[in-house]
Chain A
Amino acid sequence: MHSLIQLSIVVLLLPLLSFVILIFFNRRLPRRGDFVGVGILGTAFAISAYIFWTVIVQTYDPAFRVAWDFTWIDLGKVPGIGHLQIKMGIVIDNLTAIMLAMVTLISLLVHLYSTGYMAGDKNYGRYFAFLGIFTFSMLGIVLSDNLFSIYIFWELVGLSSYLLIGFFFEKDSAADAQKKAFLANRVGDIGMWLGILILYSQFHTFSFEQIYANLAAGKFAMSNAWLTAAGLLLFMGCVGKSAQFPLHIWLPDAMEGPTPVSALIHAATMVAAGVYFVARIFVLLTPDALHVIAFIGAFTAFMAATIAITQNDIKRVLAYSTVSQLGYMVLGLGVGAYSAALFHLVTHAFFKACLFLGSGAIIHAMHHEQDMRWMGGLRRHMPWTFATFTLATLALAGLPLTSGFMSKDAILAGAIGFANVEGGGIYYLIPVLGFFSAMLTAFYMGRQIWLVFFGESRTHLKPADNHHHGLDAHSAHDDHHDDHEVHEVSWNMRAPLVILAVLSVFIVYSPNPLDGAEGWFMKMIKTPATVVGPANHNCTALHAETPSPLMAEAFPAVETHGATDAHAVTGGEHAAATGEHAFADPRQAEIAHAAHAAHFPAIYISSIMVVFGISLAGIVFVFRIIDPDKTAEAIRPLYLFSLNKWYWDEIYQSTFIKGSVLLSKILSWFDTNVIDGIVNGVAVLVRNLAFANNSFDKYVVDGLVNFTAFSVNTTGAVLRKLQTGKVQTYVALLLVVLFGYFVFYFTRLIY
């Protein structure tokens, strides 16, 4: 076993250990055991950092990959298949190493932050336990080398999300939100599960490596539509977990959880798992599937951004912004900007975590006030928070010199390239929606900054009846609640903000603030060669309509590669290690070229859009040149449409949820009345038959019986005389019979 594997197993199991210790012993430990959680995560992060250092910094090889597996379930010699084993395993490549470090770092920071934010909660210890199981599951997703274990950890992540969203379970809204989140995720999961089943039914393995090897070798026996379906169904898992349209509805509601949880789970890691998963299965996505993915991503990005501009709850704005940014990543993957999407995943994780933790600090300082309309002027009271929040906001909006700029720009460039390659038309909708969303992002983030930190405090404007206090920690504080006592938060909440803000600066990722491709990240994460499409001769038909001169060159080379070498997947990466892009799939190569060409246009357009967005927000909300309320009134239908989140919740409520409940009632009625009715009806029928039978019995059969009884009675009256009760009479009778027998016997003997 490679030493990195050993280390990664330790990293994986450490949070589980934290969970086990805290769930059972938190009440017996001092400080309810929060130091256990923080300490264990610190250790895990240290080890992850070492892994990161070894893999990324020391090895610096895009094709780096170590793997290890063990037999988990042995099904023996299965008829028709042969020896069937289900293996679990760990794979470490560059992406894993980066994700590992990112997840443990954010988790560590959130643990640390929570020691301040959650202090005094009655279930304080359990909170850290839940964070532990979440981190464990998330690391499991990151490290898995097969679909089955990813699915397992996927659901476990859903569970921990369920537990953490409903952490304040006494609030009905929290209980509703946790259920909604779990169910929405489940809907996504069944799609993912079906996708897994399609692949398994063909290859009888769950392992990525073997599935890809088999696909590359053209062993997929079903039609290509099934392969596209498999890709899309697997993508459904991502739709659920990464809150893509149409399953995005759970994420904003999930803000009912404690704010650090929102930072960890619903901004940085869990929702990114969907994107991570799509990246893992990227190579088996057919072009058709990728198109669908790209459109869903673009639509999600746009829709969420439009909703975010009208929300008043500070966390909800961030939640919709998360949905929107996740849409970007999915869009990126869909258009083939693989490394850009993952780059955005990482950068977004840091600055969005920073934003959420910052908003947590604000909420904490404002005594659980979440409505931005009643905030304002906080920059003077909370300078650290203000600084870090602003930096992260700029990164999210995508201003140059930030990490977000580089990653978003790379995605948009990819989108333009993609549209160019696909031949325009409707495909230009994708980059257009992307740029428009970028502008909206800048606008609503600008609005948030202006509303929260600038101007004067508007606490007093809040209508008295609108007071709503969460069941968050410190409800005792509300008694001596003073509006002017807004303080900067303590060090253990401030430190994470600073660290995350620093990680939002361009220099961490790339020396060139305008081009992420020059940084270590983009160099280490290369688009893997697809195993479907032209590389797979079964699938050539798919690409008959998009012939390319490059295809002819690439095709034979890869075919031999794929057929003989199980590592066909990494074939392209080996080539890439030499310094040049060498895409196995010509289409990918084309898009990469086009994206490269579109790099500078993208920069210009997006910068303009962002600056325009932020300025517009300033014009509207600070200088009030345009009155926001009047504008809203002027476009009221649109405003309401956005404020009510495009009415998705209502639509789902009235169709799926009401429909299900109604159907359940109908079926239950059917069960008790029809099916049981039939059963009881049969019983009644049988009973009536029995009654009919009974009357027959009474008059016909009973008549006979009575007659018999009568004759027996008469005979009995005669015979009764013989019943003297004297033994000897009986003996005499017995002997008479014996004698009779003798006589009978002898007469027979004689004649």
Chain B
Amino acid sequence: MLSLIVFLPILAGLVILAVPSSQKQIIRIVSLLAALAQGVLAVLIWRAYDPSLPGITASPGGSPLGSFQFVEKLPWISLKLGGFGSLNIEYFLGVDGISVTMVILTALISAIGVLSSWTIQKQVKGYFILYNLLASAMMGCFVALDFFLFYVFWELMLLPMYFLIGIWGGPNREYAAIKFFLYTLFGSVFMLLVMIGLYFSVIDPVTGNHTFSLVAMANQANYIKSAILGPDNVMWRFIAFAVLFVGFAIKVPMFPFHTWLPDAHVEAPTPISVILAGVLLKLGTYGMMRINFPLFPEVFHASMYVIGIFGAINIIYGAFCALAQQDLKKMVAYSSISHMGYVLLGLAAGNSEGMVGALYQMFNHGTITAMLFLLVGVIYDRAHTRQIDKFGGLSSYMPVYAAIVTVAWFASLGLPGLSGFISEAFVFVGAFSSVTTRYIAMVSVLGIVFGAAYLLWSLQRMFLGKRKPDAAYDLEVGADGHEHIHFHDWKGKIDLDARELTMLVPLVVITIFLGIYPMPILGMITTSVNRLVEVLTPLAIR
């Protein structure tokens, strides 16, 4: 099941390989079908998922696989390395509450990304092959339970992303692509080091060999006491945690490692922005929840305060930077930074409410920001500019677009009734309830106001009022006596067309539904998060 959902896009990519590159429509449809099949599988997984099993790690006396579901475990690479012993890498997939939500999100965003890629005209075949590779790698990251396998998927993701930005991006695409590539590569190199250190510190309780299994690594009893990252080696564990954290923080992206994000977003084509914001950023925080924190719980506990401060900086700093932007996409990119700060803050709280909020925020940020980027793409397609000042009064001329923008913008600023609110609320509830992050939460709350400020301001400048003199479009009086809008060299429908509605309406519906009744997602994650919190709480406090 999980293998299928991971490798379906690659299969589709292989099929596309066989399709002549002139058959653009077939290529798109094959990708779409793969994405839809992935979606169906995600729904099946969602339906079959048993929310009462916690996952995270093997409970004492329980199955060594932990209570993961849909587990697939096969020996993959077994190398005898002479003096180093043997290298045992497993093909180990499985989901628990933390990953299953991300699997669903990935399937959803992938499908929407394919739809959004319909307008790509340049080298369609190559684009979709890379796209499908990316989709597979993302999905793989979320279901891999072997650190090595995770790392493979993690790196596999980097390459298509580099090309997708570097070939199909905007005018400054090479710079952005290289920046993205170097930043994330920088992070992953450290991850590799820590991974190897962990490998030699952990013993699989069943086989007695060293193992890359994250399930075994998450159980502190499996560590060799005197090993490099064993419990005795406090300093090295601290360094490993920090290094790993930086690796993931780059992906989040956390201040001060965030500058690749605005560049990458501004240059990337719309679907790639959607994927980037919708799924890729989540990998950073997912990695923290899956790897960074449970493997080094005592270090996590000691550094909660610092993580919280960085979360708060992200929230407020991102909001302020967003306030100053003239480019709409850049503003949304900074809003992403701000919103990922909530995730960090929730994680830093270290309690169930905060973690649930963080995970739920990851999901909601995925859907909401995807929506924001799609909407930016819509206007960019038409007007070929994203300067906020070049618009004005769009509400009158594009009512459906304006309505969806309003929903998306308000979802982003955390309006109750829309999903973003619940996650932000839980993040704050958690952060405030934790004594460590209480004051940080009090400062971060300001982010709510500034978030509202930049979103409402941009909304006002673009959609309210009247057309500005130097706007990127003209007004024409139509046959019916009403004023209509006219974009230069845009032949399509002025308001949203059917394809765009197909992408946006499901996201709007999800956003509203999950804002009113969050249990379909929360129900899956609470058990796992509670277990995670237990694992993270040091024995002394537990």
Chain A residues close to B by CB (< 8 Å): 72-81, 84, 148, 151-156, 159, 166, 169-172, 174-176, 178-179, 182-183, 186-187, 189-190, 193-194, 197-198, 200-201, 204, 660-661, 663-665, 667-668, 671, 675-676, 678-679, 683
Given contacts A193-B428, A201-B432, A676-B259, contact A155 B460 (CB under 8 A): no
Q: Are B352 and A671 in contact (CB under 8 A)?
A: no
Q: How far is the CA of A660 from the CA of B453 in the complex (A)?
A: 10
Q: Are A675 and B259 in contact (CB under 8 A)?
A: yes
Q: Is B309 engaged at the interface, CB distance under 8 Å to the other chain?
A: no
B495 to chain A, nearest CB (A): 14
Q: How far is the CA of A409 from the CA of B410 in the complex (A)?
A: 43
Q: Which residues of A contact B255 (CB under 8 A)?
A: 675
List the 9 closest pairs (A to B, CB-CB), nearest first: A668-B324, A152-B416, A664-B323, A175-B464, A197-B432, A664-B324, A201-B433, A76-B526, A78-B352
Q: Are B445 and A183 in contact (CB under 8 A)?
A: no
Q: Is B452 engaged at the interface, CB distance under 8 Å to the other chain?
A: yes
Q: How far is the CA of A77 from the CA of B534 in the complex (A)?
A: 11
Q: Which residues of A contact B422 (CB under 8 A)?
A: 73
A658 to chain B, nearest CB (A): 12
**Which listed residue (A159, A194, A676) contacts B442, Cβ 8 A?**
A194
A193 to chain B, nearest CB (A): 6
Q: Are A74 and B523 in contact (CB under 8 A)?
A: yes
Q: Which residues of B contact A172 (CB under 8 A)?
A: 464-466
Q: Is B421 engaged at the interface, CB distance under 8 Å to the other chain?
A: yes
Inter-chain pairs besides A200-B433, A664-B323, A678-B256, 12 sampled, C-beta below 8 Å: A77-B530, A152-B417, A155-B415, A155-B416, A172-B465, A172-B466, A190-B446, A190-B448, A660-B450, A671-B317, A676-B259, A679-B259
Q: Is B153 engaged at the interface, CB distance under 8 Å to the other chain?
A: no
Given contacts A170-B464, A667-B324, contact A78 B533 (CB under 8 A): yes
Q: Which residues of A contact B410 (CB under 8 A)?
A: 159
**Which listed residue (A77, A80, A156, A671) contacts B415, Cβ 8 A?**
A156
**Which listed residue (B256, B453, B464) contacts A675, Cβ 8 A?**
B256
Q: Are B526 and A190 in contact (CB under 8 A)?
A: no
Q: Are B465 and A169 in contact (CB under 8 A)?
A: yes
> Nearest CB to that of A149 among chain B residues?
B416
Q: How far is the CA of A671 from the CA of B325 in the complex (A)?
A: 11
> Nearest CB to that of B186 among chain A residues?
A682
Could you mark each residue 503-530 of chain B with 1 if its beta carbon is under 8 Å from any beta carbon of chain A, else 0?
0000000000000011100110011001
Q: Which residues of B contact A170 (CB under 8 A)?
A: 393, 396, 464-466
Q: Which residues of A contact B146 (CB under 8 A)?
A: none
**Which listed residue (A74, A152, A179, A678) contacts B456, Cβ 8 A?**
A179
Q: Are B321 and A200 in contact (CB under 8 A)?
A: no
Q: Is B199 engaged at the interface, CB distance under 8 Å to the other chain?
A: no
Q: How far is the CA of A152 from the CA of B424 in the complex (A)?
A: 12
Q: Which of B415, B449, B460 has most chain A Cβ within 10 Å?
A: B449
Q: Is B499 engaged at the interface, CB distance under 8 Å to the other chain?
A: no
A165 to chain B, nearest CB (A): 11
Q: Which residues of B contact A73 (CB under 8 A)?
A: 422, 518-519, 522
Q: Is B148 engaged at the interface, CB distance under 8 Å to the other chain?
A: no
Q: Is B537 engaged at the interface, CB distance under 8 Å to the other chain?
A: yes
Q: Are A151 and B416 in contact (CB under 8 A)?
A: yes
Q: Which residues of A contact B321 (CB under 8 A)?
A: 664, 667-668, 671
Could you mark each residue 247-264 of chain B with 1 if its beta carbon is under 8 Å from any beta carbon of chain A, else 0?
000000001101110000
Q: How far is the CA of A283 from the CA of B433 in the complex (A)?
A: 23
Q: Is B429 engaged at the interface, CB distance under 8 Å to the other chain?
A: yes
Q: Which residues of A contact B484 (CB under 8 A)?
A: none
Q: Which residues of A contact B129 (CB under 8 A)?
A: none
Q: Which residues of B contact A190 (CB under 8 A)?
A: 445-446, 448-449
Q: Is B76 engaged at the interface, CB distance under 8 Å to the other chain?
A: no
Q: Are B453 and A197 in contact (CB under 8 A)?
A: no
A231 to chain B, nearest CB (A): 16
B270 to chain A, nearest CB (A): 23
B211 to chain A, nearest CB (A): 27
B363 to chain A, nearest CB (A): 14
Q: Are A179 and B395 in contact (CB under 8 A)?
A: no
Q: Which residues of B contact A183 (CB under 8 A)?
A: 449, 452-453, 456
Q: Which residues of A contact B267 (CB under 8 A)?
A: none
Q: How far is the CA of A194 from the CA of B438 in the complex (A)?
A: 10
Q: How far is the CA of A82 from the CA of B456 in the complex (A)?
A: 40
Q: Are A153 and B416 in contact (CB under 8 A)?
A: yes
> Nearest CB to that of A148 among chain B residues?
B425
Q: Is B441 engaged at the interface, CB distance under 8 Å to the other chain?
A: yes
**Which listed residue (A79, A664, A676, A679) contacts B533, Cβ 8 A?**
A79
**Which listed residue (A74, A176, A660) contacts B323, Cβ 8 A?**
A660
Q: Is B292 engaged at the interface, CB distance under 8 Å to the other chain?
A: no
A253 to chain B, nearest CB (A): 14
Q: Are A201 and B438 in contact (CB under 8 A)?
A: yes
Q: Which residues of A contact B450 (CB under 8 A)?
A: 660
Q: Is B353 engaged at the interface, CB distance under 8 Å to the other chain?
A: yes
B217 to chain A, nearest CB (A): 21
Q: Is B351 engaged at the interface, CB distance under 8 Å to the other chain?
A: yes
Q: How far is the CA of A632 from the CA of B352 in the complex (A)?
A: 63
**Which listed residue (A80, A81, A176) contacts B460, Cβ 8 A?**
A176
Q: Are A667 and B320 in contact (CB under 8 A)?
A: yes
Q: How far is the CA of A204 from the CA of B322 in the complex (A)?
A: 34
Q: How far is the CA of A369 from the CA of B32 in the complex (A)?
A: 58
Q: How far is the CA of A631 from the CA of B316 in the complex (A)?
A: 50
Q: Is B114 engaged at the interface, CB distance under 8 Å to the other chain?
A: no
Q: How far is the CA of A155 from the CA of B446 in the complex (A)?
A: 16
Q: Are B259 and A200 in contact (CB under 8 A)?
A: no
Q: Are A182 and B323 in contact (CB under 8 A)?
A: no
B218 to chain A, nearest CB (A): 16
Q: Which residues of B contact A76 (CB under 8 A)?
A: 352, 526-527, 530
> Nearest CB to that of A669 among chain B residues?
B324
Q: Is B493 engaged at the interface, CB distance under 8 Å to the other chain?
A: no
Q: Which residues of B contact A78 (CB under 8 A)?
A: 351-353, 530, 533
Q: How far is the CA of A194 from the CA of B431 in the complex (A)?
A: 11
Q: Is B542 engaged at the interface, CB distance under 8 Å to the other chain?
A: yes
> Nearest CB to that of B179 among chain A residues?
A679
Could you mark each residue 405-433 of chain B with 1 if its beta carbon is under 8 Å from any beta carbon of chain A, else 0?
00000100001110001100100110011
Q: Which residues of A contact B416 (CB under 8 A)?
A: 151-156
Q: Are A75 and B448 in contact (CB under 8 A)?
A: no
Q: How far is the CA of A650 from the CA of B452 in the complex (A)?
A: 21
Q: How far is the CA of A172 from the CA of B452 in the complex (A)?
A: 19
A575 to chain B, nearest CB (A): 36
Given contacts A169-B464, A170-B464, A172-B465, contact A79 B352 (CB under 8 A): yes
> Nearest CB to that of B526 among chain A residues?
A76
Q: Is B356 engaged at the interface, CB distance under 8 Å to the other chain?
A: yes
Q: How far is the CA of A190 from the CA of B447 in the complex (A)?
A: 9
A-B contact pairs, 7 of them (CB 8 A): A80-B351, A81-B352, A172-B465, A179-B460, A187-B449, A661-B324, A679-B179
Q: Are A197 and B448 in contact (CB under 8 A)?
A: no
> Nearest CB to that of A168 among chain B residues?
B464
Q: How far is the CA of A76 from the CA of B531 in the complex (A)?
A: 10
Q: Which residues of A contact B453 (CB under 8 A)?
A: 183, 660
A652 to chain B, nearest CB (A): 13
Q: Which residues of B contact A182 (CB under 8 A)?
A: 452, 456
Q: Are A671 and B353 in contact (CB under 8 A)?
A: no
Q: Are B353 and A197 in contact (CB under 8 A)?
A: no
Q: Which residues of B contact A169 (CB under 8 A)?
A: 395, 463-465
Q: Is B490 engaged at the interface, CB distance under 8 Å to the other chain?
A: no
Q: Are A84 and B438 in contact (CB under 8 A)?
A: no
Q: How far is the CA of A176 from the CA of B461 in the complex (A)?
A: 10
Q: Which residues of B contact A186 (CB under 8 A)?
A: 448-449, 452
Q: How far is the CA of A12 from the CA of B403 in the complex (A)?
A: 24
A195 to chain B, nearest CB (A): 11
Q: How far is the CA of A679 from the CA of B253 in the complex (A)?
A: 14
Q: Which residues of B contact A174 (CB under 8 A)?
A: 464
Q: How far is the CA of A215 from the CA of B508 in the complex (A)?
A: 41
> Nearest CB to that of A686 among chain B residues?
B182
> Nearest CB to that of A191 among chain B residues?
B445
Q: How far is the CA of A663 from the CA of B463 in the complex (A)?
A: 25
Could you mark each residue 371-399 of chain B with 1 if its beta carbon is under 8 Å from any beta carbon of chain A, else 0?
00000000000000000000001011000
